[in-house]
């Protein structure tokens, strides 16, 4: 009979578990939008955005108004997502949003600096390994749980053209677990003497974004924005240099695991938007965004595992000749084209007060295919309807030399049912149906100085 | 107005810090591939160990299956003067010299508000060997209720027989047999208007399939379904079930015993949605139970599968077997309303 050594198995199991697959991601604003006004217009603002949400939608808009703008807001989205009619317990996402637009004039040239921050209120960052046979709502489970920080610079060379560039920050990590000492084979709880060290480094990566806005006519704006792709590759290093004791002569054991996992990925994307203002109280905007999801890398860790153990002759220990690494599995994502529509209507307009009503619609077709194989990254198409109102106070001197705008919004997303029919009838999970709703809202306050 | 706006926003932000943490997504399984978890005492209501036993031990059980609120099983009493166990008999096998003839019995689910959801009362005999071709024992019962009425299939010395009744709780009357010769362990399911009879072909150690359009006459389609993996030994004791999936398709699952390439007996399964191509699970589904035999599946609500099988136990020095239950997904708990 083969004798198995419990500590060895436990140690290897624990270390190997660190190298599980990661997550498909983009940024929180990609998922839920950025600031109330832009969200309530369905995100169709690339053509003429000029408030702090330009830090995400189109940095060229930062220089559009020439005003110093300070914005703070909050958003909250609840997920009512189901698999086979059972609630999936995807947690809510709430975040504080802060934005700054700071204009600078150098001679006749107009510049503006911008800063945008999306700060989740439950945690600063979240990374959860994906268990292959546990279906997970890939776009909503952990994707928004990240800080988003963007800094931008915009320039207006002529009155009808604005240009903007910027960078966005994300933080990959490198984690090292180092275990040394003696592990008793038969009395691991009381006779083992193991020490471990854990080291974690959060570094940063940056990726670009750029945009332009053209205003060929006072009623028409055209915008083009580009956001670069990024890939957070988390590195996990696990080292064990231990002796297995309790079986006669100590058995030296060397184990090393280096796993590099894509823990977060954002596709490059480009938006082309048109805005049309037929009257001063009516605003239409449409937009089309391309997401380059097809270049999404595999979420399976690229790992190298080395195990060396030299048991004395005669001791029958089951040590695997080879520890197979996880094979990269293609996700099969495809590019998506996302249309957006927004309408803004001036409901009340006086010298001191302006009230606007807003409507928006977005259709996001899922880049994920139906999960017919071993993977279970669940995602559905999504129809999002948004409604918002804005209250602008203009006559605030001498308290405030500018305007104060208060925006509120609500969103409702409908995810039509999607069937995941497995190719194998003895699949570890089996067929399932995904469906659900999202509902949320938020508010923002902006002070715009003249 | 300004102060009110700022106050409202501050309240929103403050309330936002009341966050909740969710756990990892729970396991989901609609395919019934396991691994299965043994039912516990609260689910079976029996105080007998292991907890997964479904009925009070009364002797040697051959195979048990649950249909509706009833359990059908073959049972043989231990003889009064027990001879020594035959030498060389595989561990876990019942020594037929130590028990009497097997007869088929029918028990009912324990009733009552406090009753365990998967506990059964021992039942009375419903069929015994009476025909020449049957020999002295009837075994491996499989009851099914279809558009053809209630039918109870069984194995006997000469092959597979059938008895019919108006309902599963009614009086069964034997039809002429055998329906299929050189076969045992019948398992019958309704599939696209036909009855499919899966059986163990005793002459080849394989699983076979026969079809019927009336429930009483069967045409053997094959005696060797392509379910064995390379290096595997004999396949035996099929238990079939038609499982609807959440996406609307029907999947035919067959659980069976198999000796793997290392000669270890385990319970595995195969599935199909068209009867022409089969997917075979490469592992066992009942690793939690050593030497499980005679798997028979039961579908419950929410795509939960209970697998009934027999496990060995010893009584007064005699090796016997008793029906036990296991459930998949393992996170599922049986509740009365799920039955």
pLDDT at A9: 41
pLDDT for res B6: 58
Higher per-residue pLDDT: A206 or B64:
B64
Torsion of CA A182, A186, A187, A189, to 10 degrees: 70
The CATH number linked to B99 is 2.115.10.20
Between these two residues, A399 and B280, which has the higher pLDDT value? B280
- Which of 45-84 (A) contact B at CB < 8 A? 72-74, 76, 83-84
Q: Are A111 and A102 in contact (CB under 8 A)?
A: no
Strands annotated E in A296-335: 302-309
Can you say whether the dihedral through the CA atoms of B8, B10, B16, B17 is positive or negative? negative
- Which band of pLDDT confidence, cut at 50, 70 and 90, is reported for residue A284? very high
* pLDDT at residue A18 in the model: 38
Average pLDDT over residues B86-110: 92
Whether B240 is covered by a domain: the verdict is yes
Domain housing B42: 29-312+320-327
* Residue A139 reports pLDDT greater than 80: yes
Checking if the pLDDT of B202 tops 50, the result is yes
CB contact under 8 A, A421 and B247: yes
Looking at per-residue pLDDT, the higher value among A430 and A323 belongs to: A430
CA distances from A330 to A17, A294, A375, A383 (A): 20, 10, 9, 27
Instruction: Quote the pLDDT of residue A260.
Output: 66
Among A83, A426, A445, select the one facing B28 at the smallest CB separation.
A83
What percent of chain B is predicted at pLDDT more than 90?
65
Distances (CA, A) of A405 to A47, A395, A440, B178: 21, 12, 21, 87
Question: B30-75 pLDDT, tens per residue?
Answer: 999 989 999 988 888 877 666 678 887 788 999 999 999 999 999 9
In Å, how far is A107's CA from the nearest CA of chain B? 35
Judge whether residue A2 has pLDDT over 50: no
User: Can you spell out the DSSP letters for B205-267?
Assistant: TEEEEEEESSSS--EEEES--S-PPTT---EEEEEEEEEE-TTS-EEEEEEEEEE-TTS-EEE
What does the pLDDT read at residue A421? Answer: 97
- B271–A428: do the CB atoms touch at under 8 Å? no
- Give the mean pLDDT of B89-112: 91
pLDDT value at residue B25: 63
The residue among B75 and B26 whose pLDDT is bigger is B75
pLDDT at B209 over 60: yes
pLDDT-derived band at A69 (thresholds 50, 70, 90) equals: very high
Whether residue A374 lies within 8 A of chain B, CB to CB, comes out as no
Closest CA to A48 of A360, A345, A285, A402: A285
State CA A5 to chain mean position distance: 42
Domain ranges for chain A, please list them.
6-449
Interface test with A, best of B26, B31, B253 (most A CBs within 10 A): B31
Q: Tell me, what's the pLDDT at A26?
A: 66
Q: What is the pLDDT of residue A3?
A: 34
* pLDDT cut 70: percent of chain B above it: 90
Query: Mean pLDDT throughout B302-331?
Result: 91
Asked whether A211 and A58 are in contact (CB, 8 A), the reply is yes
Dihedral sign computed on CA atoms, order B4, B6, B8, B10: negative
CA dist A122 and A39 (Å) reads 21
- The answer to whether the CB atoms of B246 and A133 lie below 8 A apart is no
* Contact flag B16-A96 (C-beta cutoff 8 Å): yes
CATH 2.40.160.60 is the classification of domain A6-449: yes
A25 has a pLDDT exceeding 70: no
Mean per-residue pLDDT over chain A, rounded: 84
pLDDT at A6 over 50: no
Residue-wise pLDDT tens digits, A236-282: 777 777 777 766 677 777 777 776 666 678 899 999 999 999 999 99
**A433 close to B (CB below 8 A):** yes
Does residue B4 belong to any structural domain of this protein?
no
Query: According to the model, what pLDDT value does residue A20 have?
Result: 41
Q: Which of A96, A419, A428 sits opposite B247 (nearest CB)?
A: A419
Which of A129-138, A157-166, A396-405 shows the lowest mean pLDDT across its residues?
Answer: A129-138
Helix (H) or strand (E) holding A38: helix A36-40
Residue B247 belongs to a domain: yes
* B7: in domain: no
Chain B residue with minimal CA distance to A378? B25
Chain A / chain B CB contacts < 8 angstroms: 125
Q: Between chains, do A445 and B29 touch, taking CB under 8 Å as contact?
A: no
So what's the pLDDT on residue A90? 86
Quick one: pLDDT at residue B183?
A: 96
Percentages (nearest 5) of helix, strand, coil residues in chain B: 10, 45, 45
pLDDT at B28: 87
**Integer angstrom CA distances of residue B97 from A16, A71, A239, A346, B133:** 52, 88, 59, 94, 21
Number of domains in chain B: 1
Nearest Cα neighbor of B304 from B50, B26, B23, B34 is: B34
pLDDT tens-digit map of A317-372: 555 555 555 566 778 899 999 999 999 999 999 989 999 999 999 999 999 999 99
Which among A88, A90, A430 is the nearest to B31, CB-wise? A430
Q: Which residues pair with A279 in a beta bridge?
A: A282
Query: Minimal Cα–Cα distance from A65 to chain B, Å?
Result: 22
Pairwise pLDDT comparison (A175 vs A95), residue with the higher score: A95
Q: Taking CB atoms and an 8 Å cutoff, what residues of chain B touch A399?
A: 2
User: Residue A300: is its pLDDT beyond 70?
Assistant: no
Cross-chain residue pair B29–A428, CB shorter than 8 Å: yes
Alpha-carbon distance B329 to nearest alpha carbon in chain A (angstroms): 9
- The answer to whether B218 and B236 have CB atoms below 8 angstroms apart is no
* Residues in A 351-370 with any Cβ partner in B closer than 8 A: none
- What is the pLDDT averaged over residues A192-207? 73
> A136 to chain B nearest CA, in Å?
6
* pLDDT score recorded for residue B331: 86
Chain A residues in contact with B271 by the CB 8 A cut-off are 424-426
Residues A427-437, mean pLDDT to the nearest whole number: 96
DSSP B31-71: S-----EE--HHHH---SSSTTB-S---SEEEEEEEETTEE
Alpha helices in A151-297 (DSSP H): 188-191
> Is B43 within a domain?
yes
Mean pLDDT, chain B, whole residue set:
89
Segment holding B5, helix H or strand E: helix B2-15
Q: Are B228 and B244 in contact (CB under 8 A)?
A: no
For residue A15, what pLDDT is reported? 41
Which of A423, A430, A435 is best to mutate for the B interface (most B CBs within 10 A)? A430
A304 touches chain B (CB under 8 A): no
Rounded Cα–Cα distance for residues A115 and A404 (Å) = 19
Q: pLDDT class for A307, splitting at 50, 70, 90?
A: low
Residue B1 included in any domain: no
pLDDT of residue A201 exceeding 90: no
By C-alpha distance, the chain B residue nearest A93 is B19
């Amino acid at each position: 009979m083969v004798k198995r050594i419990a500590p060895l198995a436990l140690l290897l199991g624990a270390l190997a578990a660190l190298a599980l697959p990661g997550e498909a991601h983009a940024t929180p604003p990609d998922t839920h939008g950025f600031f109330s006004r832009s969200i309530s217009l369905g995100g169709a603002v690339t053509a003429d955005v000029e408030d702090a949400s330009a830090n995400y939608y189109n940095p060229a808009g930062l220089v559009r108004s020439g005003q110093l703008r300070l914005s703070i807001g909050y958003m909250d989205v609840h997920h009512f997502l189901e698999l086979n009619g059972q609630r999936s317990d995807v947690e809510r996402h709430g975040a504080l949003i802060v934005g700054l637009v700071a204009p600078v004039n150098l001679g006749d040239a107009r510049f503006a600096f911008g800063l945008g921050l999306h700060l989740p209120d439950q945690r600063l960052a979240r990374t959860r390994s994906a268990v292959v046979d546990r279906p997970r709502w890939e776009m909503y489970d952990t994707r928004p749980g990240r800080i988003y920080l963007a800094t931008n610079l915009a320039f207006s060379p002529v009155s009808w053209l604005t240009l903007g560039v910027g960078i966005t920050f994300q933080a990959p990590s490198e984690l090292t677990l180092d275990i040394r000492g003696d592990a008793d084979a038969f009395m691991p709880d009381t006779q083992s003497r193991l020490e471990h060290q854990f080291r974690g480094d959060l570094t940063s990566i940056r990726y670009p974004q750029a945009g332009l806005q053209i205003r060929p006519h006072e009623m028409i704006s055209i915008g083009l924005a580009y956001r670069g792709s990024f890939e957070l590759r988390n590195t996990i290093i696990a080292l064990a240099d231990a002796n297995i004791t309790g079986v006669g002569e100590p058995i030296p054991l060397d184990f090393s695991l280096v796993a590099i996992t894509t823990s977060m990925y954002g596709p490059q994307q480009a938006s082309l938007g048109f805005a049309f203002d037929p009257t001063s109280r009516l605003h239409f905007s449409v937009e089309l965004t391309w997401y380059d999801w097809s270049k999404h890398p595999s979420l399976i860790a690229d790992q190298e595992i080395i195990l060396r153990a030299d048991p004395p002759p005669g001791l029958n220990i089951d040590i695997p000749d080879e520890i197979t690494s996880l094979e990269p599995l293609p996700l099969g994502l495809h590019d998506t084209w996302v249309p957006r529509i927004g309408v803004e209507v001036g409901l009340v307009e006086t010298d001191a007060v302006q009230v606007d009503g807003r409507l928006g619609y977005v259709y996001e077709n899922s880049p994920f295919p139906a999960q017919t194989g071993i993977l279970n990254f669940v995602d559905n198409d999504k129809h999002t309807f948004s409604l918002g109102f804005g209250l602008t106070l203009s006559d605030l001197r001498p308290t405030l030399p500018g305007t104060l705008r208060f925006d509120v919004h609500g969103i409702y997303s409908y995810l039509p049912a999607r069937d995941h029919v497995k190719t194998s009838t003895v699949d570890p999970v089996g067929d399932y149906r995904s469906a659900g709703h999202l509902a949320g809202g938020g508010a923002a306050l902006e002070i715009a100085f003249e | 107005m300004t102060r009110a706006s700022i106050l409202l926003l501050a309240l929103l932000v403050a309330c936002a810090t009341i966050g909740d943490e969710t756990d990892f997504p729970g396991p989901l399984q609609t395919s019934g591939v396991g691994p299965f978890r043994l039912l516990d005492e609260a689910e079976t209501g029996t105080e007998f160990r292991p907890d997964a036993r479904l009925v009070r031990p009364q002797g040697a059980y051959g195979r048990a299956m649950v249909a509706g609120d009833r359990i059908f099983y073959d049972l043989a009493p231990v003889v009064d003067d027990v001879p020594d166990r035959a030498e060389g008999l595989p561990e876990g096998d019942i020594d037929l010299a130590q028990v009497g003839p097997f007869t088929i019995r029918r028990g009912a689910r324990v009733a009552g508000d406090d009753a365990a959801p998967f506990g059964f009362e021992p039942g009375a005999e419903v069929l015994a060997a009476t025909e020449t071709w049957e020999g002295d024992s009837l075994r491996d019962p499989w009851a099914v209720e279809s558009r053809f009425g209630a039918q109870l299939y069984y194995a006997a010395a000469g092959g597979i027989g059938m008895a019919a009744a108006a309902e599963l709780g009614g009086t069964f009357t034997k039809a002429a047999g055998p329906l299929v010769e050189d076969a045992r362990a019948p398992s019958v399911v309704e599939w696209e208007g036909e009855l499919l009879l899966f059986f163990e072909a005793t002459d080849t150690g394989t699983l076979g399939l026969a079809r019927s359009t009336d429930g009483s006459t069967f045409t053997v389609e094959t005696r060797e379904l392509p379910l064995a993996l390379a290096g595997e030994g004999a396949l035996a004791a099929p238990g079939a079930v038609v499982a609807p999936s959440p996406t609307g398709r029907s999947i035919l699952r067959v659980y069976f015993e198999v000796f793997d390439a290392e000669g270890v007996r385990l319970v595995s399964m195969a599935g199909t949605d068209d009867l022409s191509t089969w997917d075979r699970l490469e592992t066992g589904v009942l690793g939690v139970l050593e030497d499980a035999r005679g798997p028979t599946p039961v579908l419950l609500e929410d795509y939960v599968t209970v697998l009934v099988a027999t496990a060995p136990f010893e009584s007064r020095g005699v090796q016997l077997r008793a029906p036990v239950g296991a459930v998949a997904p393992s996170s599922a708990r049986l509740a009365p309303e799920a039955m």
